[in-house]
Amino acid sequence: MHEIVTISVGHRPNHLATQYFNCQEELLSRQAEKVNDPSIFLQPSIDRISRTVSYTPRALLWDAKTGYGALGTYQYNQSSDYYYSEEENIESGHNEVIMTQPRVPKAEYQTALDSGSDELPRLNHETTKYWSDYSKLIYSFTSFNVLKDWYHDVSKPNLPDFHRLKTKRFDSYEVGCQEFNENYLQDFFDGNLHTQLEQCDTLQGFNLITDMDSGWGGFSSSMLIELRNELPKASIFTWGFNEDDSLTAQSASDSRITKSNISKLGNKIRSTVALADESDLMVPLYGNTALSNWEQAGLTCKLFDTLNSTMSQSSLAQRRSMEDITNCLTLSDTDRNFVSSISGLEGTRDSSFFSRIKPSRGPPREPHVFTTCRIARFPLSAKLPTESNVSELSTYAYCPSDTIPDPYRQETEFAIQLSSTEICREVFRQYEDVVSKYFRHDTDREELKDDLASMSSNYEYGWYDDDYSGDDDM
């Protein structure tokens, strides 16, 4: 086996992980078709007496306190450490329960799942505030990791609140780095991560899902540096959600860089540089704030599931490794590891965040395409069209869970095209310009400028006459 562990860092990433594992659960119910090997992404536990197999996700989830909703860490495990009862009866008189916060009621969908009901209620954005409201597979208690000083806020689910004081948000790259390095580094690597690794025979790598605009970006950057030091040979794919900023805004007023938005842009730039340096592949995703986390995860799951399906196919002739996918998109050039164009998702434009960044000067032009990987979700017997300079991969048809929103689960046979393009040069040049003009008193200013200049040079093609001034005299 060549196992892949999913690490999701933040509430929105946990929604995506939940949707993905729900789709894996759907495939388990169709094992007669034998299209995939579930043990790549799921940990099997064999009961030799009843001759049955149960599966838990190979996953490590990070969230703020109460971010798990009604789900308790030990709720589905035999442990006296967890107390949950609708009648609020305590089995032993020696136990004392102190309620420090209101209990989150269990969602109707989750209640129906736990009761074994055949009729599951339909989901909507009001009944999916928490990812645990519709999670189908049972996680191991070692999958759960919680920020001890930060609390989930339903009104701002992606920005935890410090001790519920409403005075400080988890919205700074530096705070995220400090939080991981000072409070969780040792315990996480010696504890839950170690436990997950012990359950792997031959670890292939990790999918890291995170937010880029907040403290989660700094948190995951610090984690990834240590993860790379611990497991230098493991492949790492990083999936980063990026919200709109002054470089992608459509209106002139929103395009102005002000003190109120420079911090968010700074988080994004620092996260992008740090994560790219340690990742084999970077997938910058567009985080549409007009969608709920449940809807965003349902849309993105089509892409996430498609790429991962190529690495878990039951056919060894068709199956690809993380290293194979990396080579398809980088041609072994490890300095050019961004997926800057993602097309093929029905009803959406290019799903890469980089495609939304407007040119800084001159009319937009078609960027040069360095590499392309096209993944077709057709029946395995289908013959793919041939095209020069494009890596063609095929995998089984999409098998969406009923938890995926209706608009995103109608189409099950489609093709998604992933490309590395010249647009990265434009993005990193604009980031460098922002750092030069607005990060004047930041201690990492010169280092960031050098890193971004180096990153942009990796995506140069042909001749250019649009030199940035890098004007420090403005």
Q: Which domains does the chain have, with CATH numbers?
A: 3-81+96-346+358-420 (3.40.50.1440)
Residue 87's contacts (CB-CB under 8 Å, 6 or more residues apart) are none
The sheet carrying 341-343 orders its strands as 341-343, 415-421, 369-376, 391-394
In percent, the amount of the chain with pLDDT more than 90 equals 72
pLDDT digits (tens, 9 = 90+) for 80-96: 444 444 444 444 455 56
pLDDT digits (tens, 9 = 90+) for 116-157: 998 999 999 999 999 999 999 999 999 999 999 999 999 999
HEC string of 428-458? HHHHHHHHHHHCCCCCCHHHHHHHHHHHHHC
Nearest to 265 by CA among 286, 250, 283, 243: 243
Residues paired with 3 in a beta bridge: 203
- Give the tokens for residue 352: 């890469």
pLDDT digits (tens, 9 = 90+) for 229-243: 999 999 999 999 999
Residue 158's contacts (CB-CB under 8 Å, 6 or more residues apart) are 10, 11, 12, 211, 214, 216, 293
HEC string of 112-165? HHHHCCCCCCCCCCCCCCCHHHCCCCCCCHHHEEEEEEEECCCCCCCCCEECCC
Please name the helix (run of DSSP H) or strand (run of DSSP E) that holds residue 226, with its range, or none: helix 215-230
pLDDT attached to residue 474: 40
Confidence (pTM): 0.92
CA 334 and chain centroid, separation: 21
Q: How far apart are CA 128 and CA 297, in angstroms?
A: 11
Q: How far apart are CA 351 and CA 344, in angstroms?
A: 9
Pick 123 or 382 by higher pLDDT: 123
pLDDT digits (tens, 9 = 90+) for 297-326: 999 999 999 999 999 999 998 999 999 999
- What number is the average pLDDT over the span 202-224? 98
Pick 385 or 36 by higher pLDDT: 36
pLDDT attached to residue 80: 45
Cα end-to-end span (Å), the chain: 57
pLDDT attached to residue 253: 65
